Amino acid sequence: METTFHRNRHSEDIRTLGTQIQTLLGDIPITIQCVLKEGRLVVLGQHTVHQTLNSGSVLVRLERSIQALNIRFAQQVRIYLRVAGQKQPYAHHRFILTPPPPPRIQKPSPIDEQPWIVGDEELSHLVDQLTAFSRDTALSTQASPSPQRADEGEPLQAPESQS
């Protein structure tokens, strides 16, 4: 049962991949089908007999589109182009997927490398500044007038507690 689930999930992913590739190709009038065979991704592009394509440029665009999708479940890719209804492809191309480069890590600046250690004197000075700021803020809050009711013009008072 588990194998069937994985196989169905995998075939769904392959179908979705074909749709994504076809979307990336945009104006190229071909239908894309994908299959995973022996660990290789096989991509078939089909078009009608009435459509003439430059196979070289189509194969290059297909490779670029596939590389852009950052596929991780296969390393080797084979692409085939054929006219719909024909048994044999008229063009093919194979390539190895290159993994995306690792993210660039910027070297930290000299400022970032310095530890954020504060000496005792500087720490005392900072604490004094913060304490003074907190005290000034508390005093200005206490000195401000009490809020008034808009309809009565009287200050609001806290309800008296009943003992």
Residue 92, pLDDT score? 95
**Which stretch of 10-24, 51-65, 106-120, 135-149 has the lowest confidence by average pLDDT?**
135-149
Q: What percent of the chain has pLDDT over 90?
A: 39
Strands 40-47 and 76-83: parallel
The set of residues, in sequence order, having a beta carbon less than 8 Å from that of 96 and lying 6+ positions away, is 75, 76, 77
What is the Cα Rg of the chain in Å?
35
Closest CA to 30 of 4, 65, 67, 77: 65
Residue 145, pLDDT score? 56
Residue 136, pLDDT score? 72
Can you point out the beta strands (E) in the chain? 31-37, 40-47, 76-83, 91-96
Whole-structure pTM value? 0.56
Distance CA 90, CA 61 (A): 17
- Residue 95: both structure tokens together: 């390539």
Q: Is it true that domain 2-96 has CATH number 3.30.300?
A: yes
Asked whether the predicted pLDDT for residue 20 surpasses 60, the reply is: yes
Per-domain residue ranges of the chain: 2-96
Q: For 63-121, what is each residue's pLDDT tens digit?
A: 999 998 888 777 899 999 999 999 999 999 999 988 767 777 777 666 666 666 767 78
